[in-house]
Amino acid sequence: MKIGIPRALVYYYYYPIWVSMFEELGAEVVISDETSKNMINEGIKLTVQEICVPIKIFNSHVLNLIEKGVDYVFIPRLVSIKKYETFCPKFLGLPDMAKNVFKDFEDRIISPKISSSTDNITNLSSYKEVMKKLNIPSGKMKSALKVASKKFEEFRNLSLKGFTISEILEGKTSGKKPFKNTAPDTVNIGLLGYVYNVYDNFISMDIISKFRSLGVNVVTFDMLSEKEIYKHMGHLNKHLFWTFSNKILGAGMYFLNEDQFDGIIHITAFGCGPDSYIGKMMELDSDKKHKPFLTIRVDEHTGESHLVTRVEAFTDMLKRKKMSQVGRVSV
Amino acid sequence: MKISFPHMSPVIVYKRLLEMFGHEVVVPPTPTQKTFDLGVKHSPEFACFPLKVILGSYIEAIEMGAQMIMTSGGHGPCRAGYYGELHSRILKNLGYDVEIVIIDAIFPKFNDFIKKARKITNGASIFKVAKVFKVVYNLSKAIDRIEKRIEKMRAYEVNEGDCDKVWDKILKKFDKVNTIAEVEAIEKEAYGMLDNVPVVKVEEDSKIRVGVIGEIYVVMESSVNMEIEKTLGKLGVETERSQYLSDWIEHNIIPKFMRDKKIDNIIDEGKEFIEIEIGGHAVENVGYIKHFKERGFDGIIHLMPFGCLPELVNQSIVPTIIEKFDLPVLTIPIDEQTGKANNQTRIEAFVDLIKGKKELRLNNGKSKIS
């Protein structure tokens, strides 16, 4: 039995759980290809025009899996992973949209309702639909989830050490140390963005590698602990409603308030609703803190050359600022 | 302290609510292109359209002297629940000295709720609060009943604009009400006034009915939706909306065991297409498409503000529904650049289509238009 998992949206955060869970259950797991221009073009044709780019990309991946001949596609409905918080409406309605786009495939979409109180979404109740659809006894599911839970913790620990998710996915972590430039005038950048924007190399154009090739240290939200993320969010009357958006906003507040960070970059995909709020809040606060804040908005047409220029210009600006502060060179 | 609120029809209800608690009220002007431009200028680009209009409207109210703004909160996942927080940050950054009081759900922040509720009720006793809410609730119901009748009559008025003239007069009369008895008396008078409006007699069979569904703000606030109901009325079409203030109050404020289950039932119908609540009124709107179909409506106009997250999910599902119910649906996205002329053509074409479809059905498949 082949189970397809789209390489899109929160795949980049939850693949350790889902891949190992299905493998433990004895299924063959098929991951869709990496995002490419051709794939996106196919996805756009299927999707309503105004919706955000990540959803268009998601549909391309589902299509890719169906073409690969999988028996089922796994499209979980992420409802909540924290008390009083939820997900963006597009995640909540994701299986409903997919079932309408891929009508002939409707009954082969597995869409369990994921509702958990922590990030580690391996509670049995979230996978009832998987058990029902694939006829799996709960004992077997429990032990599969136990393995999945362990894999997820390992994955998160590597992230917290400072490895990027791309490095973890490619298995480039064993026996190595995460990238860190320790020269005194090194620029440190906080990179904000959802995992499906930062780690989908088509969207982000591998921005982390570009910064590293300039000797810049980059920190993303997944490298921060829960405690660090919520450290500077106390002044908000009300948190955002969407858990991953809160993580991004919290990371942003952390980068703003901790002195070791010289600048902040926000990668956002065209049409993202929650990001429009985060962007505005960061814009207002970064002004007060006098910390450079750059928004890079990406859509399906974005070319690479303009990104390189912006990355280099931003880095140069931060370097000059830092040099004059350190007093080594006066500009 | 001068107090204001977001402009969403019927504003008279919020105005009376605050006035009866002894506040001095600044009614924000009806949104115009100037309001949109003001809001767009200071809002994030990808915020949804209502956030922008309401921001513009707040700025206009503040310039008219408002010192405090009362609005509703929410707990997501729709972005509207965070409007107040974002608005107050933006306004503060612009240098406006205004307090925004955001009324959230009673739980989990109970004390916070009480504190804010006291600001609104202005030290009134619990009996007075209950009385004021009763009057306002009855007022909203009366207004909605009269408006529902006007939405039907407009299609057949002999002199264009008669109904709206009467509607304006009725609203002015409601502007002074203090008791339920007064509300009832004015409602009765209103029906008398409407009875005197000359209308053309149209046979029941050939009446055209369109349901207007969509995001609550653009459905209820006619100044942002190109006065869709008047436009349809002029084309001889009866309308009914999916959103009315009294329904909203009934569903959101009155406890479950006491309220009319109409909206609950419609939401259950919608779950056939969207399995869980995804925020806004997405599931309810889908349920309303089915509801209107069952009541023999001829078409649906679906209003969607730019960037609305729940309605974008709906838009993905609408094609399936059109197919399943054989019911034409026209989705109109709305933003600050929504020109009336462009949409007028689309609406006229849509009305022609549903008229033709109806004729075809009445003549057993033979069209008069050859």
CATH of the domain at A183: 3.40.50
A103–B320 C-beta distance less than 8 A: yes
A48 CB within 8 Å of a chain B CB? yes
Residue A120 has pLDDT above 70, yes or no: yes
Domain stops at, among A127, A144, A159: A159
A100–B77 C-beta distance less than 8 A: no
Averaged pLDDT score across all residues of chain A: 93
In this prediction, residue B366 carries a pLDDT of 66
In this prediction, residue A220 carries a pLDDT of 97
Residue A300 has pLDDT above 80, yes or no: no
**Chain A contacts of B317, Cβ < 8 Å?**
93, 96-97, 100
Mean pLDDT of B340-347: 88
A86 CB within 8 Å of a chain B CB? yes
The CA R_g of chain B, rounded to the nearest whole Å, is 21
In this prediction, residue A50 carries a pLDDT of 87
- Domain that includes residue A231, residue range: 165-326
pLDDT band at A328 (very low <50, low <70, confident <90, very high): low
Q: Do the domains at B2-124 and B207-370 have one common CATH topology?
A: yes
Same domain as A169, residue A136: no
- Residue ranges of chain B whose CB lies within 8 Å of a chain A CB: 43-48, 73, 75-79, 81-82, 85-86, 89-90, 93, 104, 108, 273-280, 282, 306-307, 309-310, 312-313, 315-317, 319-320, 333
In this prediction, residue A149 carries a pLDDT of 97
Same domain as A321, residue A201: yes
Same domain as A256, residue A109: no
Among A93, A237, A272, select the one facing B46 at the smallest CB separation: A272
Q: What percent of chain B has pLDDT over 70?
A: 98
Averaged pLDDT score across all residues of chain B: 93
Domain stops at, among A159, A176, A196: A159
State how far the alpha carbon of B257 is from the alpha carbons of A254, B250, B251, in Å. Answer: 45, 11, 11
Residue B284 has pLDDT above 90, yes or no: yes
The Cα B365–Cα B359 span in angstroms is 8
State how far the alpha carbon of A3 is from the alpha carbons of A16, A104, A108, A130, B22, in Å. Answer: 15, 17, 10, 11, 64
In this prediction, residue A299 carries a pLDDT of 83
Question: Does residue A10 fall inside a structural domain?
Answer: yes
Mean pLDDT of A135-150: 96
Q: Which residue has the tokens 């190992």?
A: A20
The CA R_g of chain A, rounded to the nearest whole Å, is 20
- Locate A60 and state its tokens: 């391309």
User: Selecting from 3.40.50, 3.40.1350, 3.30.70, 1.10.3470, what CATH number does the domain B2-124 have?
Assistant: 3.40.50
**Chain B contacts of A113, Cβ < 8 Å?**
276
The Cα A241–Cα A249 span in angstroms is 11
Same domain as A300, residue A186: yes
In this prediction, residue A174 carries a pLDDT of 87
Which regions of chain B does DSSP assign to beta strands (E)?
Answer: 2-4, 24-25, 68-72, 99-103, 208-214, 237-241, 299-305, 329-334
Q: Which residues does B10 contact at the CB level (< 8 Å), separation at least 6?
A: B140, B143, B147, B171, B245
The Cα B271–Cα B241 span in angstroms is 20
Domain count, chain A: 2
- For residue A167, the distance in angstroms to the closest alpha carbon of chain B comes to 32
In this prediction, residue B254 carries a pLDDT of 86
**Chain A contacts of B320, Cβ < 8 Å?**
100, 103
Mean pLDDT of B161-180: 95
Question: Does residue A103 fall inside a structural domain?
Answer: yes
- Locate A56 and state its tokens: 């268009």
Q: What is the tens place of the pLDDT at every residue in B60-115?
A: 999 999 999 999 998 889 999 999 999 999 999 999 999 999 998 888 888 989 99
In this prediction, residue A331 carries a pLDDT of 41
Same domain as A148, residue A8: yes
Q: What is the tens place of the pLDDT at every residue in B233-247?
A: 999 999 999 999 999
**Chain A contacts of B312, Cβ < 8 Å?**
48, 50-51, 89-90
Same domain as A279, residue A250: yes
Q: What is the tens place of the pLDDT at every residue in B33-69?
A: 999 999 999 999 999 999 999 999 999 999 999 999 9
- For residue B316, the distance in angstroms to the closest alpha carbon of chain A comes to 6
User: Selecting from 3.40.50.720, 3.40.30.10, 3.40.50.11900, 3.50.50.60, what CATH number does the domain B207-370 have?
Assistant: 3.40.50.11900
DSSP letter string over B117-157? HHHHHTT--HHHHHHHHHHHHHHHHHHHHHHHHHHHHGGGB
Residue A233 has pLDDT above 60, yes or no: yes
B104–A51 C-beta distance less than 8 A: no
Question: Does residue A242 fall inside a structural domain?
Answer: yes
Same domain as A25, residue A54: yes
Domain stops at, among A103, A135, A159: A159
State how far the alpha carbon of A66 is from the alpha carbons of A32, A38, A267, B330, in Å. Answer: 9, 16, 30, 31
Question: Does residue A226 fall inside a structural domain?
Answer: yes
User: Domain coordinates of chain B in residue numbers?
Assistant: 2-124, 126-201, 207-370
The Cα B31–Cα B56 span in angstroms is 8
Residue A284 has pLDDT above 50, yes or no: yes
Query: Do B87 and B54 contact (CB within 8 A), yes or no?
Result: yes
Assess whether the previous peptide bond of B108 is cis (omega < 30° from 0): yes
The Cα A106–Cα A94 span in angstroms is 13
In this prediction, residue A12 carries a pLDDT of 97
Same domain as A119, residue A176: no
Nearest residue to A97 via CA among B94, B309, B202, B238: B309
In this prediction, residue B338 carries a pLDDT of 78
Q: Which of A4-18, A108-122, A151-165, A313-327 has the lowest mean pLDDT?
A: A313-327
A101–B316 C-beta distance less than 8 A: yes
A50–B279 C-beta distance less than 8 A: no
A50–B306 C-beta distance less than 8 A: yes
DSSP letter string over B73-127? ---SSSGGGGHHHHHHHHHHHTT---EEEEE--SSS-HHHHHHHHHHHHTT--HH
* ipTM score assigned to the predicted complex: 0.91
Q: Which residues does B321 contact at the CB level (< 8 Å), separation at least 6?
A: B273, B286, B289, B290, B327, B329
